[in-house]
């Protein structure tokens, strides 16, 4: 009986909580974007506070200025694409972890970039713009709320299968694995591909060469070592990603060629590291 109730609840929530991504893809949304932004704000403050205490937040002016210059141009395009995001508290920290090749952007525009990506890839500005554009795209497409919603749906499904089974422990473990493979991972791969598509356009409109997306993933493949099979990975394989982005680049060329003196939008850079803003939020300005 409990299993039936759980399944009915899951079906009802799924039917009543659908949204559409910027690319037209249907998304499961049991969590609102405002809720995701609130949760992300709390997590970001806690995480950055801990990293600051550990001395892992970069304060080196030259690196921060580079990240700021690139990110502000990308965020300006994000705001053009979704005007409501002008009210987000856009910010970025650079985390000193030389072995971590990664970057991310939470709901609400809170970002981080790891020094490992800079040191191991030695990206050009065009390539770094592809990284940050991709991460910003995750926020624009509301992927944080989507992941939270999928996690909620997965938990309901696990409970239902466990209750209905004569061996709840074993079957709950199987259900968790099934939920991960059948629900979470395919959606995650789809979200990654979606962020690639949105991110390369953001970068092109901000005046960054779209061909750099393919060269970036060529570098990623070189430093990645032995990757898991694509079927069991939340990210498309570097080779596949490089090919897909290379095919997208010609479509982005008109945006890139048209980008003359692209606007910028203020981004708080290194705030947690230094405890003060380099610039107070203001209206978008031109240049960069």
Tens-digit pLDDT profile for residues 82-102:
999 999 999 999 999 999 999
pLDDT of 231 higher than 50: no
When pLDDT is averaged across residues 227-249 and rounded to a whole number, the result is: 73
When pLDDT is averaged across residues 254-283 and rounded to a whole number, the result is: 81
Residues 6+ apart with CB under 8 A from 95: 51, 56, 57, 58, 112, 113, 114, 115
d(CA 114, CA 96): 6
Predicted pLDDT of residue 18: 60
What tokens appear for 29 in the block? Answer: 């949304």
When pLDDT is averaged across residues 102-118 and rounded to a whole number, the result is: 94
99 is catalytic: no
pLDDT of 135 higher than 50: yes
When pLDDT is averaged across residues 117-142 and rounded to a whole number, the result is: 95
Q: What percent of the chain has pLDDT over 90?
A: 50
Predicted pLDDT of residue 240: 84
User: Considering only CA atoms, which of 64, 16, 124 is closest in space to residue 271?
Assistant: 64
Task: Kindly give the pairing relationship between strand 285-286 and strand 91-95.
Answer: unpaired
Q: Which helix H or strand E contains 20, and what residues bound it?
A: strand 18-20
pLDDT of 206 higher than 60: yes
When comparing pLDDT for 39 and 174, which is higher?
A: 39
Predicted pLDDT of residue 165: 44
DSSP alpha helix (H) spans, 32-124 = 33-53, 61-81, 115-121
d(CA 169, CA 176): 11
Among 1-15, 27-41, 108-122, the range scoring the smallest mean pLDDT is 1-15
How high is the mean pLDDT of the chain? 78
Predicted pLDDT of residue 244: 92
**What is the dihedral sign for C-alpha 101, 107, 111, 112?**
negative
The active-site residue, picked from 68, 72, 93, 135, is 135
Burial 135-166 (b: 16+ CB within 10 A, else e): bbbbbbbbbbbbbbbbebbbebbbbbbbbbee
Predicted pLDDT of residue 134: 94
When comparing pLDDT for 174 and 223, which is higher?
A: 223
When comparing pLDDT for 257 and 154, which is higher?
A: 257
Given a contact cutoff of 8 angstroms between Cβ atoms, the answer to whether 77 and 262 are in contact is: yes
Predicted pLDDT of residue 25: 62
Given a contact cutoff of 8 angstroms between Cβ atoms, the answer to whether 105 and 136 are in contact is: yes
What tokens appear for 267 in the block? Answer: 């981004």
The whole-angstrom distance between residue 215's C-alpha and the CA centroid of its chain comes to: 20
Strands (E) located in 77-194: 91-95, 103-105, 110-114
Angle (nearest 5°) at CA 246 between 242 and 91: 70
Predicted pLDDT of residue 142: 81
Among 6-20, 125-139, 266-280, the range scoring the smallest mean pLDDT is 6-20
Rg (CA), the chain: 20
């Amino acid at each position: 009986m409990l299993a039936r109730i759980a399944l009915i609840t899951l079906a009802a929530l799924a039917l009543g909580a659908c949204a559409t991504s910027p690319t037209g893809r249907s998304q499961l949304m049991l969590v609102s974007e405002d809720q995701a932004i609130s949760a992300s704000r709390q997590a970001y403050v806690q995480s950055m506070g801990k990293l600051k205490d550990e001395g892992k937040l970069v304060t080196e002016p030259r690196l921060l200025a580079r990240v700021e210059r690139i990110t502000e141009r990308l965020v300006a395009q994000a705001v053009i694409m979704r005007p409501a995001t002008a009210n987000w508290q856009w910010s970025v920290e650079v985390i000193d972890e030389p072995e971590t090749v990664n970057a991310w952007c939470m709901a609400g525009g809170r970002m981080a970039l790891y020094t490992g990506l800079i040191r191991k890839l030695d990206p050009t500005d065009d390539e770094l713009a592809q990284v940050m554009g991709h991460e910003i795209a995750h926020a624009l497409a509301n992927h944080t709320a989507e992941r939270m919603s999928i996690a909620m749906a997965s938990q309901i499904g696990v409970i239902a299968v466990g209750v209905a089974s004569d061996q709840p422990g074993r079957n709950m473990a199987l259900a968790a694995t099934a939920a991960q493979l059948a629900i979470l991972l395919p959606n995650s791969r789809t979200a990654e591909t979606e962020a690639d598509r949105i991110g390369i356009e953001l970068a092109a409109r901000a005046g960054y060469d779209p061909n750099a997306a393919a060269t970036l993933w060529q570098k990623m493949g070189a430093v990645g070592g032995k990757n898991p099979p694509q079927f069991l990975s939340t990210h498309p394989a570097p080779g596949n990603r490089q090919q897909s982005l290379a095919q997208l680049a010609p479509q982005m060329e008109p945006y890139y060629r048209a980008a003359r003196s692209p606007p910028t939008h203020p981004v708080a850079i290194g705030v947690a590291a230094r405890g003060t803003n380099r610039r107070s939020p203001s209206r978008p300005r031109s240049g960069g």
